[in-house]
Amino acid sequence: DAILEVTETGLPELTEPLKDQAYDQARAGNGELLAARQAVEKSRHAVRAARDEYIPDVTLFAKHGYQDGAPFLVKNMGFFGAELSWNIFDWGKRKGEVGQRVAQQSQAEENLVRIDKRIVIEIDKVYRKLERSKKMLDVTREALSLWKENTRLSENSLKAGTVTAARHAETVAALRKAEAEALQASLEYRLALAELDKTIGLLAQSKN
């Protein structure tokens, strides 16, 4: 009798994204992460602006004068110079502002790291499940390949009369079990892939 096979025929091809690609996809549209990055950049600008307050104001000037009271001096004279001004009594306040801005920058950077770490943890968790299911799929496919060969040899032996029909039936039953296990492993792997895609999508759309 012809042996019916339990196969993955009709199922779509498996495509497993690289882990780095999964990270990038999840980060790309994550509103929370984008907002955190903007907060870090804004805080850095604020720190630079606060530190710039320490820089004194510089005023350049040029003057022209005319004199005829001292014959030993030229009559037309030009003056060039620079004037620096700052309030030394305000430095304590400015120092406090700089410290506050630096603390805000540190907080923004820590928040960015926290959000990015959460994305990585979520992807890693699903990826571990995907890797486990992939290993199981490889094992069951290898076992299926061996049982197919055993069944082929058993059929030849049955035709040659060197193996009983009952023994051959046992071999065919083992093949059926191997086929079912391989198909189950394939479905679990596909479910893990779907879960990874879903996780990437949810993280990419997160705005909280």
Query: How far apart, in Å, are the Cα atoms of 51 and each of 46, 47, 69, 92?
Result: 9, 6, 49, 12
In this predicted structure, which of 50-59, 154-163, 182-191 has the lowest mean pLDDT? 50-59
CA 32/CA 115 separation, integer angstroms: 7
Q: Give the pLDDT score at 10.
A: 47
Q: Is the pLDDT of residue 185 over 60?
A: yes
Q: Is the pLDDT of residue 7 over 90?
A: no
Query: Where is pLDDT greater, at 204 or 150?
Result: 150
Question: Are 32 and 115 in contact, with CB atoms under 8 Å apart?
Answer: yes
Q: Average of pLDDT values for 69-76?
A: 58
Q: Two tokens at 201? A: 């999508």
Q: Give the pLDDT score at 2.
A: 44
What is the pTM for the complete model shown? 0.62
Question: Are 194 and 156 in contact, with CB atoms under 8 Å apart?
Answer: no
Q: What is the chain's mean pLDDT, rounded?
A: 80
Q: What angle do CA 38, 44, 48 make, to 5 degrees?
A: 145
Q: What is the DSSP string of 151-169?
A: HHHHHHHHHHTSS-HHHHH
What digits encode the pLDDT tens for the residues 137-179? Answer: 999 999 999 999 999 999 999 999 999 999 999 999 999 999 9
Q: Two tokens at 89? A: 């009594």
